[in-house]
Structure 1
Amino acid sequence: MLLAGCGGGGGDPGNPPPAGNASLAVTLAGLPAGVTSPVNIAGPGGFTRDITQSTTLTNLVAGNYTVSAQSVVSGATTYRPAVAQQTIAVAAGASASASVDYSAIALTLGLREVADVDGAVFVTAPAGDARLFIVERGGRIRIMRDGRMLTLPFLDISGRISTQGEGGLLSMAFDPQFERNGHFFIYYTDFNRNIVVDRYTVSGNADIANATSALQIISIAHSAFTNHYGGLVAFGPDGFLYLATGDGGGAGDPLRSGQDLTSLLGKMLRLDVANASATKRYDIPPSNPFVGMSARRNEIWASGLRNPWRFAFDTSGLYIADAGQDRREEINLASLGQGGLNYGWNIMEGSLCYVSAACGQAGLTLPALEYDHGANDVNGCSVIGGYVYRGKAVPELAGRYFYSDFCGGYLKSLLASGAGNGVREQADWSIPDIGNVVSFGRDADGELYIVAADGRIHKIIRTSAPAS
């Protein structure tokens, strides 16, 4: 009866209205087909209802009802309500109406160069910290504060790393308790081409790390080839440390690492480092998917990856951008806590069979989004994953995952469907081509950065008028 009385308006049914004999018709106008914007109606007796399309609410009691609307982004267009909030008086036994009229405003994004650092490959910041930490592939971490680069590096391990092939110092992550314990983690390749994650601690000077505090967390043998190292270490919302490793290199996964659950290559790993020490570098989270299984490494969280250079966590899930071989680039999306997924490499490249013309897909997780390189790599050659936007400067972008391509030089985004491994919106933000893109970054405010291969670091900014 309640649904019938609401005219099938969709959205959250909210609190049921007290029984009455009044009605309120709410009309949403100006939104294109397929675009919805939640509108809240609140009234007497704690009544509240969210709708996403024109709706007539019936059986209402008399009183004042507040209709609240907000801007919504679709593609690169913002749809803004002419009136964000209005109050409608509804009389007993009468019908009232309200109209929410949207107007289309182009939302455009641009880039502002904030630094030029030779060899920059990653940008990050601790929670609540105004500084920006810039990772150089050659082995240094620099700090930029208030737009100025500090003279001394935060850390310099250039004498301990190999930059052969795709190697080097590739990323860093701050412990969730960094403000208290001063711990941070780095991901690099050593002189034997192994993948190494070390923990360091800040010195008495907050801008300088203690160079003698290194504790090796894990070393993964990677001696056969000089490519496909993966490259990111990051903490998940669960407080565990994640790292994504490449398949060991070579074309087509000659080591067959992606599907080998006894190998830590071609995997997403999940470690508990809260009590890391020289005698026990990490613990295995008991909820890891292969705990207690024979012929499987307990560190593995996900498998079937080729070269997952960058990944990102968000409340909407885990995003893994996995570089393809010759044809397809892919972005994988899983819900938080969904371990044990097999993303298919080298059985598949994206949704294409790789090893043979036909292949079994049972037990494999296909990409949420993929794209073909196209002739002469017109669409790109190697996906570069970014982050989901949660900043304050452009609130309309909330929930959108941004990514680029090494050869593409563009800025694109997708919006997860909220149901499974789906995508419901894609957008190309038409920024000026900045050449080869190597990474994204994020500061403590949730604002995003793009790192170009020539060392320029750009902040993503709004270049159109705010939507409200």
Structure 2
Amino acid sequence: MSAFRKLTIATVLLMTTLYASPANAWAEPVPIDDPIPEKPAASALTLTLEEFASFPKTEPTPAPTDQRLVRWARINYLGELPDGSRRLYANDLNGKLYLLGKDRQPREYLDVAATFAPDFLSGRGLGSGFGFAAFHPDFGRNGKFYTVHTEWEAALTTKTPDLTPQPGTRFHGVITEWTATDPKAAVFAGTRREVLRLGFSGQIHGIQQIDFNPAARRGDKDYGLLYVAAGDGGRGTTSDDPQNLAIPQGKILRIDPAGTNSANGKYGIPAANPFAGQEGRLGEIYAYGMRDPHRFSWDTRAGGNRLLLGHIGEHAIEAVYDVGAGDNLGWSEREGRFVYNRADRCHLYTLPDDDAQFGYNYPVAAYDHDPPPGHPCTADSGHAIVGGFVYRGARLPQLHGKYLFGDIVDGQVFFTVASQMKKGAGRAPMYKPRLVDSTGKQVTMADLAGHARVDLRFGQDNAGELYLLSKANGKIWKVTKAAYPAGVLPTFRQNLVASYDFEHPLPGDPAKEQDQGTSGSTITLVNGGQAMRVPDKAYRGSGNALQTRQVEPATAGNDDWKAGVYGEPGVPSLRAFNGVKATTIMGWFKMQGQGPAPNSNTADPADYYGAIGLAGLLSGNSQGHDVRALLELITVNGELRVVALARRVDGSSSQTFAANKPWQEILPRDTWVFLAATYDFDTATMKLYKNGRPLDGFNTVTGDPWGVEGDPEPDVTSATDPRGIKIGGSYPQNTREQNPCDCRMDGLMFLDRAASPAEIRAQYELVRRR
């Protein structure tokens, strides 16, 4: 039992803040109203969805009392047979298994509902029916595939679950092995046998998915092993079933369908399973502590050993987990990275100080429910995650390495960058791609499904191409294109965390500019708003530029025109800059004033600022001025120079690389110039470029201000969220006027790696005016 569970509920509910005591004092869990305040950010990545297939209408058995089960066709997955035939398959929860050939027309291969009637059930419970099909990786030779379906009524008294059933069992989840006489046949003919039967007390959270690791090859220990995602049957809120290693509910199981050493003798328990052979623990268990493990997949680039799970939460948290053998996801002691308290269904709680001792595995990505005002805290808010896939196909390079997933109910589509989903390192940023149909019209999944309740699912073929499914109208769409806006060097697009062209005002708020990079970090046009977008063509394809300037030099205040984003606890969408070895800032700049500007913070008319702000990434503890990486003009030894300035560690020393040439030669007045700066924190090297060519310069600080010497490990930035981006001056939160720039800017780009000299030259040549 966790330390939190030992606390009295009365004590917990009286707390409203953490103890304001020394850092080493005990901090008790406290309730949280908004567990994950940051929301998925809009991304400039555009996905084109083309209609791929349409399925015939089906009906649940028996007629449903829950209108959410009334769908056109309850298609639940699309996959490809592993036999080289290029045939696709899809299952309908109402009982049909279809095959699709080159013409994309679904043809019935097997009627699961009819086979198991009258015990078959699909009209009670959202996950009931023919839930999934998994074809053995050697199906082309052995003809074997597996299905899972639900049974009720007479089956509850005439058939016995193989492992401990839950009290008051109301339905069975049944895994069946089918052996086709001819694997090439268009309609199934052959034999079947029951492999495993589980008993669940509720009509929810049964066996959601069964599958084989597609990356496992013959001879690998994982080859031919069947993974089984079994939910908690709805009992996680009232029992410790998900934490009980003696029962199968609330677990991912791993079994060998070809083995015989299980209790029922119909399957094997792999010796490599984490609890195999342990007294009082089920050897079938691979991982545990789950409520509703809805969809899982493997990232094949990670050697097939990285299993990513979309896990549906109870109170608020929809999460993606990186699941390994023996992992405990914490339910129902934890929901995501929060304490779940059965006595307070309206809140989650912060973690206790001693949480590390329990060894829970926390999400690598997550979002919360955000119910509308007045929504009952114990009622379903209409959100549930559906897990997806990391794209490793060859046709869509801009989607490569991204994990695409979504929300079942409203059909929102999300992605994360797989390399940023690091186990034990907190949540990776989530993004929302822009969706368009085959005509290029922007759409939502609700538009395509023709219904507000989309019932979204994902599928994948053997080439790694991705598909989106909706039960609402029984249709499937294929992702046929993935693109970022034109004008960005292709090799930059994966690492382009933030990019601003000032052609994309936020709908409904023209004082904000949408990010065209991967992070979706919207910036504010401070003080000037929409008027700061001015018609000026910095480069080919440009229409507007950003105007920054000092408004009233003689008046103390914060009225300077600048841009940026600021967050006191950090800006999560900029998390890609945490713990990185290198960064790049580049963009187009046109100087309009003499510079630097008069210092409006003093009464001395002869006092001028010592710098001219261009663009910078703030540090994780910045007050709005200190930076992790900066491209600017500052005074060096009494002379204004173009510089690259950065600090590796928050609050530590910075290093400055200053250009040798006078700044007026680098940035002549009323002339557009493409400037770039790279920051390599591992080698303690910075470089500057003008119009794609390197600028000679020198470091202004001797010694080792970044602290990179003496440690053989790679040197990286602090693992803290940057507090924002500043453009055209300091303090984007507008608490002070500092270093304003009378200039115009365009095509600003922030990368989480160091661009090479050849890439910087190529980016300049790609868009420069001719």
TM-score by structure 1 length?
0.71
Question: Aligned letter for 2:458?
Answer: F
Change (3 A) 1:434 1:396: closer
Of 426, 431, 434, 2:430 maps to 426
Question: Aligned letter for 1:162?
Answer: L
Residue in structure 1 matched with residue 94 of structure 2 by the alignment: 138
Residue in structure 2 matched with residue 190 of structure 1 by the alignment: 151
Residue in structure 1 matched with residue 184 of structure 2 by the alignment: 206
1:256 positional shift: 2.7
- Runs of 5+ unmatched residues, structure 2: 1-40, 56-72, 157-170, 217-221, 343-348, 436-442, 447-453, 492-770
Kindly report the root-mean-square deviation, in angstroms, between the aligned alpha carbons of the 2 structures.
2.7
Tell whether the 8 Å contact from 1:248 to 1:257 is kept in structure 2 after alignment. Answer: no
Higher mean alpha-carbon deviation, 303-312 vs 427-436, is at 427-436
Of 343, 349, 362, 2:335 maps to 349
1:400 positional shift: 1.6
Alignment of 1:358-437 (within 5 A): 361=355, 362-376=358-372, 381-416=383-418, 417=420, 419-422=422-425, 424=428, 426-431=430-435, 432-435=443-446, 436-437=454-455
1:395 positional shift: 2.4
The whole-number CA distance in structure 2 between the counterparts of 1:307 and 1:149 is 32
Residue in structure 1 matched with residue 196 of structure 2 by the alignment: 218
Of 304, 319, 326, 2:308 maps to 319
Residue in structure 1 matched with residue 141 of structure 2 by the alignment: 180
Tell whether the 8 Å contact from 1:247 to 1:253 is kept in structure 2 after alignment. Answer: no
Change (3 A) 1:318 1:421: farther
Q: Size of the alignment, in residue pairs?
A: 360
Residue in structure 2 matched with residue 113 of structure 1 by the alignment: 51
The whole-number CA distance in structure 2 between the counterparts of 1:132 and 1:339 is 30
- The one-character-per-residue Cα deviations of 1:13-65 (angstroms, maximum 9, x if unpaired) are xxxxxxxxxxxxxxxxxxxxxxxxxxxxxxxxxxxxxxxxxxxxxxxxxxxxx
Change (3 A) 1:209 1:114: same
- The one-character-per-residue Cα deviations of 1:218-264 (angstroms, maximum 9, x if unpaired) are 11111x211111411111232111011110125x5334321111110
- The one-character-per-residue Cα deviations of 1:267-286 (angstroms, maximum 9, x if unpaired) are 00011123469983211111
Residue in structure 1 matched with residue 541 of structure 2 by the alignment: none
Alignment of 1:272-291 (within 5 A): 272-275=256-259, 280-291=265-276
Change (3 A) 1:129 1:212: closer
Residue in structure 1 matched with residue 319 of structure 2 by the alignment: 330
Residue in structure 2 matched with residue 88 of structure 1 by the alignment: none
The whole-number CA distance in structure 2 between the counterparts of 1:418 and 1:148 is 35
Partner of 1:221, secondary structure, is: strand
Residue in structure 2 matched with residue 126 of structure 1 by the alignment: 81
The whole-number CA distance in structure 2 between the counterparts of 1:126 and 1:253 is 38
Partner of 1:333, secondary structure, is: strand
Residue in structure 1 matched with residue 205 of structure 2 by the alignment: 228
The whole-number CA distance in structure 1 between the counterparts of 2:395 and 2:407 is 24
Question: Aligned letter for 1:393?
Answer: R
Partner of 1:308, secondary structure, is: strand
1:181 positional shift: 0.7
Question: Aligned letter for 1:177?
Answer: D
1:397 positional shift: 2.0
Change (3 A) 1:424 1:369: closer
Q: Which has the larger radius of gyration?
A: 2
Percent identical? 29
Partner of 1:265, secondary structure, is: coil
Residue in structure 2 matched with residue 50 of structure 1 by the alignment: none
Residue in structure 2 matched with residue 98 of structure 1 by the alignment: none
Partner of 1:295, secondary structure, is: coil
Partner of 2:331, secondary structure, is: coil
Tell whether the 8 Å contact from 2:245 to 2:282 is kept in structure 1 after alignment. Answer: yes
Tell whether the 8 Å contact from 1:169 to 1:189 is kept in structure 2 after alignment. Answer: yes
Of 235, 240, 248, 2:233 maps to 248
The whole-number CA distance in structure 1 between the counterparts of 2:362 and 2:428 is 16
Are residue 263 (structure 1) and residue 266 (structure 2) matched? no
Residue in structure 2 matched with residue 452 of structure 1 by the alignment: 470
The whole-number CA distance in structure 1 between the counterparts of 2:404 and 2:281 is 34
> In proportion to residue count, which structure has more strand?
1
Residue in structure 2 matched with residue 441 of structure 1 by the alignment: 459
Question: Aligned letter for 2:137?
Answer: P
The whole-number CA distance in structure 2 between the counterparts of 1:108 and 1:125 is 26
1:369 positional shift: 1.3
Change (3 A) 1:209 1:215: farther
The whole-number CA distance in structure 1 between the counterparts of 2:423 and 2:444 is 33
Question: Aligned letter for 2:270?
Answer: P
1:146 positional shift: 1.2
Residue in structure 2 matched with residue 162 of structure 1 by the alignment: 121
Change (3 A) 1:421 1:130: farther
Tell whether the 8 Å contact from 1:217 to 1:276 is kept in structure 2 after alignment. Answer: no
Tell whether the 8 Å contact from 2:364 to 2:421 is kept in structure 1 after alignment. Answer: no
Partner of 2:241, secondary structure, is: coil
Tell whether the 8 Å contact from 2:140 to 2:183 is kept in structure 1 after alignment. Answer: no
Question: Aligned letter for 2:180?
Answer: V
Question: Aligned letter for 2:325?
Answer: G
Partner of 1:396, secondary structure, is: helix
